[in-house]
Structure 1
Amino acid sequence: MNEYYADLHIHIGRTWTGKAVKITGAKSLTLTEVLKVSSERKGLDMIGVIDCHSPEVMEEIEELMRQGSVAEIEGGGLQFGKTTLIPGSEIEIYDSQCQGPVHVLVYFPTLDKMKLFSNWMAQHVTNIQLSSQRIYCDGKTLQLKVKELDGLFIPAHVFTPFKSLYGKGVSESLAEVFDPKLIDAIELGLSSDTSMAKEMNELNDYVFITNSDAHSLGKIAREYQRLELEKPSFSELSMALRETGGRRVATNYGLNPKLGKYHNTVCAKCLTPAEPNTKLCLNCGAKAIVKGVALRITELAKNNHTHNYRERPPYIHQIPLDFIPGLGPKTMDKLLDYFGTEMNILHEATFEQLKQVVPEKIARYIDLARKGKLLIETGGGGRYGKVKANDEESH
Structure 2
Amino acid sequence: MKMKKYYVDLHIHIGRTKTGKAVKITGSRSLTFTNIIHHARNEKGLNMIGIIDSHSPEVIIEMEELLSNGLLTEHPDGGIVFGDLTIIPGSELEIYDEQCQGPIHVLCFFPTLEVMRSFSMWLSKQLKNIQLSSQRIYVSGKELQRKVKELDGLFIPAHVFTPFKSLYGKGVKQSLTEVFDPNQIDAIELGLSSNTVMADEIGELHQYTYISNSDAHSLAKIAREYQVLVMKEPTFKELEKALKEIEGRKIIANYGLDPFLGKYHQTACANCSHPISPGEEKCPECGAVKFTKGVAERIKELHSPVVSRRKRPPYIHQVPLEFIPGLGPKMLTKLLDHFGTEMAILHEVPYESIANVVPLPIAELIWKARNGDILLQAGGGGKYGKIAEQ
Counterpart amino acid of residue 88 in structure 1:
G
Q: 1:112 to 1:266 in 2, by over 3 A?
A: same
Aligned match of 1:125: 127
| 1:140 maps to which of 134, 139, 142 | 142
How far has the Cα of 1:278 moved from its partner?
A: 6.1
Looking at structure 2, the residues matched to 152 and 279 of structure 1 have their Cα atoms a distance apart, in angstroms, of 43
2:350 aligns with 350
Letter in 2 for 1:348: E
Counterparts in 2 of 1:15 and 1:279: CA distance versus 1, 3 Å: farther
> Residue deviations 1:209-261, cap 9 Å, x none?
00000000000000000000001000000000000110001100000001111
Deviation at 1:331, TM superposition (A): 1.6
- Partner Cα separation in structure 2 for residue 273 and residue 332 of structure 1: 32
Matched residue SS, 2:207: coil
- Could you tell me which amino acid in structure 2 is paired with residue 247 of structure 1? R
Residues 84-138 of structure 1: CA distance to partner in whole angstroms, max 9, x if unpaired?
A: 0000000000000000000000000000010111111111000000000000000
Q: Secondary structure at the match of 2:14?
A: coil
**Whole-Å separation in 2 of the counterparts to 1:355 and 1:81:** 32
Structure 2 partner of 1:50: 52
In the other structure, the counterpart of 1:107 is 109
Distance 1:329 1:140, change over 3 A: same
Greater Cα offset, 146-155 or 321-330:
321-330
Trace 1:32-51 onto structure 2 (pairs within 5 A): 32-51=34-53
Q: Which amino acid aligns with 2:12?
A: I
Deviations 1:184-215 (A, max 9, x none): 00000000001100111000000000000000
Separation in structure 2 between the aligned mates of residue 166 and residue 277 of structure 1, nearest angstrom: 22
Q: Is the 8 A contact 1:325 1:389 kept in 2?
A: no
**% identical equivalent positions:** 62
* In 2, Cα distance between equivalents of 1:8 and 1:47: 5
Alignment match, 1:262? 264
Which 10-residue stretch deviates more, 97-106 or 356-365?
Answer: 356-365
Q: 1:126 to 1:279 in 2, by over 3 A?
A: farther
Distance, in Å, in 2 between the alignment partners of 1:361 and 1:113 is: 50
Give the aligned partner of residue 332 of structure 1. Answer: 332
Aligned residue for 2:156, secondary structure, equals: strand
| 1:359 lines up with 2:373 in the alignment | no
Task: Provide, for residues 334-356 of structure 1, a one-character-per-residue CA deviation record: whole Å limited to 9, x for no partner.
Answer: 21111111111111111122122
User: Aligned AA for 2:190?
Assistant: L
User: Which structure 2 segments of 5+ residues have no match?
Assistant: none
Question: Following the alignment from structure 2 to structure 1, what is the Cα–Cα distance between the partners of residues 358 and 336?
Answer: 11
Partner SS for 2:8: strand
- 1:97 maps onto 2:109 in alignment: no
CA-to-aligned-CA distance 1:70-90 (integer Å, 9 cap, x gap): 110121000112110000000
Identify which of 192, 198, 201 aligns with 1:199: 201
Q: Which one of 167, 170, 173 corresponds to residue 168 of structure 1?
A: 170
Question: Counterpart of 1:78?
Answer: 80
Please, what is the CA RMSD of the aligned residues? 1.2
| Structure 1 residue matching 2:227: 3-state secondary structure | strand
1:87 partner SS: strand
* TM-score, length-scaled by structure 1: 0.96
Opposite residue 313 of structure 2, the aligned amino acid is P
Give the secondary structure class of the aligned counterpart of 1:236: helix
Structure 1: state its 5+ residue gaps. 391-395
SS at match of 2:78: coil
Where 2:126 maps in the other structure, the secondary structure is coil
CA distance in 2, matches of 1:153, 1:140: 11
Q: Distance in 2 between matches of 1:371 and 1:229?
A: 27
Q: Give the match's secondary structure for 1:343.
A: helix
SS at match of 1:76: coil
Q: Distance in 1 between matches of 2:332 and 2:281?
A: 44
